[in-house]
Each structure stands twice: as C-alpha cells, then as structure tokens.
Structure 1
Amino acid sequence: MTFSQAISSCMSKYGTFKGRAARSEFWWFVLFQFLVFAAVAMLNEKLLALVQLGLLLPYLAVGARRLHDIGRTGWWQLIGLSGIGLLVLIYWWVQESELGQN
C-alpha cells in the first residue's frame, strides 16, 4: 500500500474499528500524522489541538484494525496508556499479518 492509498483508506474508514489493516497502512498513517502535527505545530498551538483531536479517532481505528490483523482485539490499545505498554503495542504493530479472518 502506498502513502496516499493508506491515508485515503484510513480517512474513508474514519471510525471503522472492524476489519483489518496491513502494516503498511498503519505505519504510513502514523507517518502522515507525525508530518501533519509537525506542520500545524509551526503554525498555531490551538489549531494543533484541534487537528490532534480530529485525527485521534482514525488513529485508534487503524490501530484496532492493525491489532485485528495479528489476531488481537483492539482493546489492547488501552495498555498504551501505561508507559511500558506502548512498547508492547509497537512490538505487536510491527508483527506480520496472520492468515484468516478477524
């Protein structure tokens, strides 16, 4: 999946937590978010907060779909709230896809 395909897919599935997301889709969207946040942060901090809020739901959705792709439930994203849990999530997000359905 290319950068533009990944962004298009994530934004069209804005709040869709069902299904699967490939590694490339997830990581391209993470890169897109980083670039958007960096660009907006240079402009205005209040605008940055709105953009972050606007991209939160698609980030959570693609994260849940990525976890579905490796055979885990999207609820595992809650461990990211603890500091060390984010490392576990990153490890899972880089795993290869499992064959089969969710």
Structure 2
Amino acid sequence: MQWYLKVLKQYADFSGRARRTEFWMFVLFNILAVIVLSIIDVLIGTASFSTTSTGFSTSGGLLTTIYQLAVLVPSLAVGARRLHDTGRSGWWQLLALIPLVGAIILIVWWATDGQPGANEYGMNPKQEVAGGYPQGGYPQQQYPQQGYPQGGYQQQGYPQQPQQQYPPQQQYPGAPQA
C-alpha cells in the first residue's frame, strides 16, 4: 500500500527513477481497485454485466471510469520513471499505441532490472532505499561519478577507509639531492 500512496504523492512527477516494486505494486493495486469498483458499479446499476457465448461482457461503470481518469496521470508518470530506471525515455510509452507488440515490449522493459548506479535520470532508487552510497560515487575508493558533486561525505552508515600514512621517504646512497 505504501508504494501505491508513494506514486499518488508523486502525481505528475515524470522525473527521476522508479523501482520495479513501486511500479508493479501500483499496477496490482490499480487492478484490484478496478475489480472492486466494477463490482460496485454492477451492484448499484451504473454498469451492466452479462454472459455471452464467448465469456463475460461488461460495460464501463461510472465509478470505474472516474477512478481510471483520476489515476491516468500517475500511471503515466510511474511508467515513465520506471523506463528511466532502465535508461530509456518516458516517451517510449507511446509504444502502447501499437497493438499487442507495443504492450509486450513495454512489459518486458518495465520488468527489466534498472541500471546500477546513477544514470542521466538520477541515482539508482535501490541504493537510495537500501542505504547505498551518496551521490558522489564511492568516495572511499575514489571512483567519482560524473554529474554529481564530489567531496568527502561523512554520513552515518557509510564505511570510510582510514587515510593511509606512508613512512617518510628515505634517501638512498647515490640518489640526487632534492
């Protein structure tokens, strides 16, 4: 439920990255909400539900339609953030307009693990949540990441290597004097 609320709080935020868990939990709660609202629509008479020779048929209900319109923008936003996590632009969601093939490609991309470390859309959300390294890369190993400020990050929970103390250099016989 926290993932669903997180997406709703970021209603129209198309920037940044979203974890697979965030995206798929939002999809799961949307499906459950649509099922419940469809049943309520049938019970109160704002939708019709009938059986046909090939299965079931339902017409859109008022509550379901209002709900789907209300979560349209957050759905697009979390989809774009999920694509950002894989290193793709959110505009790739337009593939959904291609029948069947577009949806399959998007589902595969949404299910793909995100890029490790930072990419052009921001830090890896797994590292932010799991207590990963700050936005300077790995300062104790001197591996900077481009685009982020560098410096000594003294944050609690991040391992810091002690500074190595080298012994003073000895002069060897016959070595030129400095």
TM-score (norm 2): 0.54
Q: Secondary structure at the match of 2:71?
A: helix
Tell me, what secondary structure is at the counterpart of 2:12? Answer: coil
Aligned residues: 99
**Aligned partner of residue 97 in structure 1, secondary structure:** coil
RMSD: 0.8
The answer for unaligned runs of 5 or more in structure 1 is none
Q: Which residue of 1 aligns with 2:88?
A: 72
Instruction: Map 1:1-102; keep pairs closer than 5 Å.
Output: 4-44=1-41, 45-83=61-99, 84-99=101-116, 100-101=118-119, 102=121
Larger helix percent: 1
- Residue segments in structure 2 that go unaligned for 5+ positions in a row: 42-60, 122-178
Match of 2:146 in 1: none
Q: What is the alpha-carbon distance in structure 1 between the residues aligned to residue 30 and residue 82 of structure 2?
A: 16
Structure with more of its chain in strand, by fraction: 2
Amino acid at match of 1:62: V
SS at structure 1 position matched to 2:65:
helix
Larger Rg: 2
Q: Give the structure-1-normalised TM-score.
A: 0.94
Of all paired residues, the percent bearing the same amino acid is: 43
- The runs of at least 4 aligned residues of structure 1 exceeding 4 Å deviation read none
Q: Which has the higher contact order (CA 8 A, sep 6+)?
A: 1
What amino acid maps onto 2:31 in structure 1?
A: F
Q: Post-superposition shift, 1:17?
A: 0.4
Tell me by how many angstroms 1:43 deviates: 1.2
